[in-house]
Chain A
Amino acid sequence: MIKFNNVNKWYGSFQVLKDCTSSVKKGEVVVICGPSGSGKSTLIKCVNGLEPFQEGEISVDGVSVGAKETNLPKLRSQIGMVFQNFELFPHKTAMENICLAQIKVLGRTEDEANTRAQELLDRVGLGEYGNKYPSQLSGGQQQRVAIARGLAMDPIAMLFDEPTSALDPEMINEVLDVMQQLAKSGMTMMVVTHEMGFARRVADRVIFMDEGEIVEDATTDDFFGKPHSDRAQEFLSKILEH
Chain B
Amino acid sequence: MLGDFDFGVIVTALPYLWEGMQLSLLLTGLAAIGSIALGTILALMRLSSIRLFQWIGAVWVNFFRSLPLLLVIFWFYFLVPLIVQGQVDAFESALIGFVLFEAAYYCEIMRSGIQSISRGQAWSGYALGLNYPQTMRYVVLPQAFRNMLPILLTQTIILFQDTSLVFVVGLADFMTSAVTVAQRDSRLVELYVFAALVYFVMCYFASLYVKTLQKKMHR
Q: A91-B143, A91-B146, A100-B138 are in contact. Are A105 and B130 (CB under 8 A)?
A: yes
Q: In whole angstroms, what is the CA distance A193 to B123 when docked?
A: 19
Residues of B contacting A87 in the complex (Cβ-Cβ under 8 angstroms): 118, 120-121, 123-124
A101 & B128 in contact (Cβ 8 Å cutoff):
yes
The answer to whether the Cβ of B126 comes within 8 Å of any Cβ in the partner chain is yes
The answer to whether the Cβ of A226 comes within 8 Å of any Cβ in the partner chain is no
Residues of B contacting A149 in the complex (Cβ-Cβ under 8 angstroms): 128
Q: In whole angstroms, what is the CA distance A79 to B129 when docked?
A: 9
The answer to whether the Cβ of A104 comes within 8 Å of any Cβ in the partner chain is yes
A-B contact count (CB 8 A): 64
| Distance (whole angstroms) from the CB of A94 to the closest CB of chain B | 14
A104 & B138 in contact (Cβ 8 Å cutoff):
yes
**Residue of B118, B120, B127, B130 with most chain A CB atoms under a 10 A cut-off:** B127
In the complex, per-residue mask of A70-105: 1 if CB is within 8 Å of any chain B CB, else 0 = 001110111111010101111100000000110011
Interface size band for B: 10 to 19
- B interface residues (Cβ-Cβ under 8 A, vs A): 118, 120-121, 123-131, 134, 138-139, 142-143, 146
Which residues of A (17-57) have their CB < 8 Å from a CB of B? 45, 48, 50
Q: Which single residue of chain B is at the shortest CB-CB distance from A146?
A: B124
The answer to whether the Cβ of A113 comes within 8 Å of any Cβ in the partner chain is no
A50: contacting residue among B126, B130, B139, CB under 8 A: B126
A85 & B126 in contact (Cβ 8 Å cutoff):
no
A76 & B126 in contact (Cβ 8 Å cutoff):
yes
Q: Which single residue of chain A is at the shortest CB-CB distance from B120?
A: A87
The answer to whether the Cβ of A153 comes within 8 Å of any Cβ in the partner chain is yes
B128 & A100 in contact (Cβ 8 Å cutoff):
yes
A101 & B142 in contact (Cβ 8 Å cutoff):
no
Q: In whole angstroms, what is the CA distance A80 to B120 when docked?
A: 15
Q: Which single residue of chain B is at the shortest CB-CB distance from A105?
A: B129
Q: Which single residue of chain A is at the shortest CB-CB distance from B132?
A: A73
A91 & B142 in contact (Cβ 8 Å cutoff):
yes
A73 & B129 in contact (Cβ 8 Å cutoff):
yes
Q: Which single residue of chain B is at the shortest CB-CB distance from A77?
A: B129
Q: In whole angstroms, what is the CA distance A146 to B134 when docked?
A: 19
| Distance (whole angstroms) from the CB of A230 to the closest CB of chain B | 35
Residues of A contacting B131 in the complex (Cβ-Cβ under 8 angstroms): 73
Residues of B contacting A90 in the complex (Cβ-Cβ under 8 angstroms): 143
B128 & A83 in contact (Cβ 8 Å cutoff):
no
Q: A91-B143, A100-B128 are in contact. Are A50 and B123 (CB under 8 A)?
A: yes
List 14 A–B pairs whose Cβ atoms lie within 8 Å, in order of A's numbering: A50-B127, A73-B130, A76-B129, A77-B129, A80-B127, A83-B123, A87-B123, A89-B124, A89-B138, A91-B143, A104-B130, A105-B130, A146-B124, A153-B129
In the complex, per-residue mask of A150-173: 1 if CB is within 8 Å of any chain B CB, else 0 = 100100000000000000000000
Q: Which single residue of chain A is at the shortest CB-CB distance from B146?
A: A91
Q: Which single residue of chain B is at the shortest CB-CB distance from A152?
A: B128
Q: Which single residue of chain B is at the shortest CB-CB distance from A78?
A: B129
B129 & A81 in contact (Cβ 8 Å cutoff):
no
Residues of B contacting A150 in the complex (Cβ-Cβ under 8 angstroms): 127-128
